[in-house]
Amino acid sequence: MRAVITGGGGFLGSHLCEALLLRGDEVVCLDDFCTGEPANVAGLRDHPRFRLVRADVTRECEVAGPVDAVAHLASPASPPDYHRLSLETLAVGSRGTENALRLAAAHRARFVLASTSEVYGDPEVHPQREEYWGHVNPIGPRSVYDEAKRFAEALTMAYGRRMLADIGIVRIFNTYGPRMRPDDGRVVSTFIRQALAGEPLTLYGDGRQTRSFCYVDDTVRGIVAMLDSALCGPFNLGNPREHTVAELAGLVRAATGADAPVEFRPLPVDDPTRRRPDITRARRELGWSPRIPIEEGLRRTVAWFTDGSGPDRRPAPHALTTTARC
């Protein structure tokens, strides 16, 4: 198929581009690189089935030629990014989502929205099932991202109910792996960067808040399965193995071999205390579940952070030092 990936130059989007190319699809990557990195897709720029278009999907989302599928991943996704780009985050969740939906509708293409576990907020139900409506502060500091994704889900469902597009929604829980930005503010990349630099690992609160970490290859398999299906969802995509942040710090120390101390800081406002997906629906209907244990995923991620030697599944060996331009 010929797939359009919005946000295809980002951490997760670039891995999705590669997965689709590897199986023989054509890929059109749309990105304005406000948070993505051109180096993520620079190695694909000469691939005959890959096209990069620099575009802000909040302004337009037009692609020449046939379109069989649209995966809407465009959005700042880490707290420092969506705090810095608050209005842009709301815009891509609203106008950007509608522009991507219009593209899919015009081509009668499959549309998949990459939503987030953040729609559950600081959940009062644990683990989180897709039927749970969430516990979200609509005016808190995290709301620009939470509410942008919640609105994007509502808009996607409206298009589906009006039968304007063949839609699907996945809710992605904490994903990690090669190509995370060291300074993106996410806990895995932050701990690895700090450990490799010999700095203390910063734990917020008492370190007992929990997360569920899913390796990027597993998350991408779930998105591809959703693109290939005719299912609506939403589906949780995440690893149901739950870890405290303090446990994660220990796993990162083991993966890096660093004897890094721990430094405690105050817990940010509205930071979720527990987060774990119930993936029963994804297992049953998509045939999907994660395969990579966190110990192996961290080993691969640390190798990439250290010297770029982590696993590379690119369709062709291209240098990563050039800058891709449309």
176 is catalytic: no
- Cα separations in angstroms, 114 against 25, 60, 63, 119, 236: 19, 19, 20, 12, 10
262/278 Cα distance (integer angstroms): 31
Question: What's the token pair of residue 39?
Answer: 């180096």
Alpha carbons 16 and 137: distance in angstroms, whole number: 31
Residue with tokens 């942008």: 148
Stated length of the chain? 326
Pair of tokens at residue 214 = 């899913």
CA 75-128-292 angle, to 5 degrees, is 70
Reference 144, options 180, 196, 92; nearest CA is 92
Beta strand 26-31 pairing with 110-116 = unpaired
Give the CA distances from residue 112 to residues 166, 219, 220, 272, 290, in Å, rounded to whole numbers and listed in that order: 9, 14, 12, 26, 19
Active-site position among 82, 120, 145, 176: 145
CB 111, CB 68: distance < 8 Å: no
Task: Give the 3-state DSSP-derived string for 85-125, with helices as H, strands as E and coil as C.
Answer: CHHHHHHHHHHHHHHHHHHHHHHCCEEEEEEEHHHHECCCC
Question: 223: closest CA among 112, 109, 97?
Answer: 112
Give the Cα separation of 188 and 132 in Å (integer). 27
Catalytic residue positions, numbered? 145
